[in-house]
Amino acid sequence: MQNLKQLGLHPEQMLADLPAFMNRIIGFADEIGISLSSYTADHIALRVNSQDIALELHQAWLAYGTEWSKAIINGRPIVVIGFDTPLQVGEWMIEALELPYPSDKVYPQQGWEHVEFVIPGNAMSLEQLEQSINSTFPALHWQQLAEKGIKVKASSPAGEHERLPNPTYAFKKDNICIKLHSHSLAAVIASEKE
């Protein structure tokens, strides 16, 4: 565990940093033009650059919860750990951690990377999700995001056995990311078992 502590990635250190990270998420949401206070913070994700660190983190976080899923998505394992006690940060209760094993991409900063929020609409496609986002957040002006240096990426990540589509919009700037989707990770994982 010394390696994780030296890197500032031990779960205790990550949990201590969580309120500051969520404050950055709230500030970023304001910059995008969305208010997330009424919506579920479904899960939080971290990013690391080495298989060894991912393996160590995977084992370390199991002290805080149960592995819900380990699926190959876009060619690499993504582990989801459901917390025994949801993490309370401000007004949110976060029930799960997403830990992607690294791909070829190198992240300039390891640690917390994004929070995914569930918004209403039950979207099954990217077009439906965009409509849901527009009706949920009428103050969001898509064309102004690039001017603010905010990258927007639409994707439909899926595990091999998932039956519930989960289109996602990601808003990213300066090593911080907010993702919006219509189905909780728990619901998507449950669809694999149907």
pLDDT digit string, tens, across residues 174-187: 889 999 998 887 77
pTM: 0.90
Q: Range of 10's domain?
A: 2-192
pLDDT tens track for 80-103: 999 999 999 988 999 999 999 988
Spatial separation of the C-alpha atoms in residues 15 and 8, rounded to whole Å: 11
Spatial separation of the C-alpha atoms in residues 124 and 103, rounded to whole Å: 27
The set of residues, in sequence order, having a beta carbon less than 8 Å from that of 143 and lying 6+ positions away, is: none
The set of residues, in sequence order, having a beta carbon less than 8 Å from that of 27 and lying 6+ positions away, is: none
pLDDT tens track for 36-67: 999 999 999 999 999 999 999 999 999 999 99
CATH number at residue 140: 3.10.180.10
SS3 content of the chain, % helix, strand, coil (to 5): 35, 35, 30
Residue 105's pLDDT is 79
Give the number of domains in the chain. Answer: 1
Q: Say which DSSP state 97 is in.
A: E
The bridge status of strand 151-155 relative to strand 111-118 is: unpaired
